[in-house]
Amino acid sequence: MTSDDRSFLNWAAMAIAVAALFLGFFAIGRVGAPEQATGPEGSTEVSVVELSLGAFKLSPEHIMAPPGQVIVRITNIDSQNHNLNILGSRTKDLQPGESQDLELGELAVGVYKMFCEIPGHNEAGMNGNLHIIMNAEPGPYTGSATSDGEVDHFHGFDTWQEMQKTMDDRALRFIQEEKSEFGGQPLEFEMVDGFKQFVVTAQLADWEVEPGRIVEAYTYNGTVPAPSIHVEVGDMVRVILKNELPTPTIIHWHGIRVPNAMDGVPPFTQDVVVPGDEFVYEFEALEPAVGIYHSHNGASQVLDGLFGTFTVGQMQTPDVLLDQGFKATPDQTIEMTLNDAGVIGLSLNGKSFPATQAYSGTVGDTVMVHYQNEGLMAHPMHLHQPLGWIIAKDGRELLVPIPGDTINIAPGERYTVLLKLTDPGVWAWHCHILTHAERDDGMFGMVTAFIVNEA
């Protein structure tokens, strides 16, 4: 090999080394650099924003991303099913703990509404906005905003005066508008062969939940709640269930002591009652009870209206409350059944504010309230005045009454509360999960009032 050959090889080796060194520095420069997400065929940046579905709430309520391809990654962290609709793109009904990516395509600058489509959930406050803003970092957006990025303190209204007038007008409808039919009225019976015999017909019926919102409800005898049934301890009870629904059904006596064959749980205690058929329930009312009668053949039947109160005997006023001026016999008894789902949605006794029933009494009256929860989540019920005393839970009298102005009733629970009306006025009465009672245009849902008159 000549010296010229060796010189050429040395220069070639040096060139290769320099090239390798350059490539090494280039590679090092790429290590740890953020990877840019790309859209289809690598053409457009993709923004991924995470969103949680909670108890009638989006978290965060407002999210943002820059213009371009947007994916919203949605997780249901609640104990009940939810879905989400953005620009007509909709997730499936997500089970608790389930996630789904919603691909929205390429979005321009603007504000896009997000909401849950399950009946009553949007109205309960399960909504928010996706804000597409120039140079935005994908993630939460603090507060409401208009399409030009300005903060909207008036929640879509032009002025605070307009917003307040809308809220006040909605509240006044509660006292100004004529109320439609209320459910839960006492069910009449006839004596047959020593039995107090009641006839209950399961049927579809149009039911006005709030003014102008009429739904096709599952009902007993055409109302929501069903007519209330009351008997005394020792009575022989016969209930004839006639099924005029398009689907099979049943009656379960929740909180009522009955023989196993009468418990109403197909296929364990009996077969379902098919459309056009009937079944006869017979049992003795063995002990005092504050219960519910409802379907036990698919949750939707209950949520859509197949529920009513069933009471046996009378809860007694504790001696300690007699000493405080409560009466031994209440001046009135109120049954209040709570719901939050199905076609009925957020409601008190099958009605949503301002269609809910107003209650009234006189200073000095003793009022007994039976709360029953037929919904899917707990509701802390709050009467602004007077203070309530819990005297029984699930139909069992407490050894010592418990005071409470906010009483949390879980699904299936029943609480019996005594009130002594003390101060005149109109006192609000509502669920204290605020999104179950108020929204940007005023009160709605689980709200009513107690009107206390001067003695």
| Domain-embedded: residue 16 | no
304 shares a domain with 358 = no
Boundary residue ending a domain (152, 175, 192) = 152
187 shares a domain with 85 = no
The per-residue pLDDT for 31 is 31
CATH number for the domain spanning 273: value is 2.60.40.420
The per-residue pLDDT for 142 is 59
| Domain-embedded: residue 273 | yes
Q: Is 308 helix (H, G, I), strand (E, B) or coil?
A: strand
248 shares a domain with 189 = yes
- Reported as a pLDDT band with limits 50, 70 and 90, residue 313 is very high
- pLDDT greater at residue 434 or residue 8: 434
What does pLDDT average to over the chain? 87
| Domain-embedded: residue 397 | yes
- pLDDT greater at residue 148 or residue 234: 234
322 shares a domain with 300 = no
Count of domains for the chain: 3
- Reported as a pLDDT band with limits 50, 70 and 90, residue 40 is very low
248 shares a domain with 344 = no
| Domain-embedded: residue 178 | no
The per-residue pLDDT for 13 is 41
Q: Is 367 helix (H, G, I), strand (E, B) or coil?
A: strand
The per-residue pLDDT for 435 is 84
| Domain-embedded: residue 162 | no
Q: What residues form DSSP beta bridges with 254?
A: 292
DSSP H stretches of helix in 159-278: 160-176
309 shares a domain with 323 = no
Boundary residue ending a domain (133, 152, 171) = 152
Q: What is the arithmetic mean of pLDDT over 273-297?
A: 97
CA distance linking residue 208 with residue 222, whole number of Å: 12
> Residue 435 is encoded by which pair of tokens?
């999104």
Determine the structural domain holding residue 204 and report its residue range: 183-313
Whether pLDDT at 254 is above 90: yes
Q: Say which residues have a Cβ less than 8 Å from residue 97's Cβ, sequence separation at least 6.
A: 75, 76, 77
CA distance linking residue 138 with residue 168, whole number of Å: 37
324 shares a domain with 434 = yes
Q: What is the arithmetic mean of pLDDT over 381-402?
A: 95
The per-residue pLDDT for 54 is 87
- pLDDT greater at residue 398 or residue 341: 398
First to last CA, the chain: 124
CB atoms within 10 A of CB 96: 13
365 shares a domain with 345 = yes
The per-residue pLDDT for 143 is 52
Compute the C-alpha angle 449/177/229, nearest 5°: 60
Q: Tokens 């006025």 identify what position?
A: 425
Cβ–Cβ < 8 Å for 250, 296: yes
Whether pLDDT at 92 is above 90: yes
Q: Is 217 helix (H, G, I), strand (E, B) or coil?
A: strand
Q: What is the arithmetic mean of pLDDT over 370-378?
A: 95
| Domain-embedded: residue 142 | yes
Q: Computed from CA positions of residues 30, 33, 38, 43, in that sequence, does the dihedral angle turn out positive or negative?
A: negative
195 shares a domain with 297 = yes
275 shares a domain with 189 = yes
Q: Tokens 């209930």 identify what position?
A: 239
| Domain-embedded: residue 36 | no
DSSP H stretches of helix in 141-295: 160-176
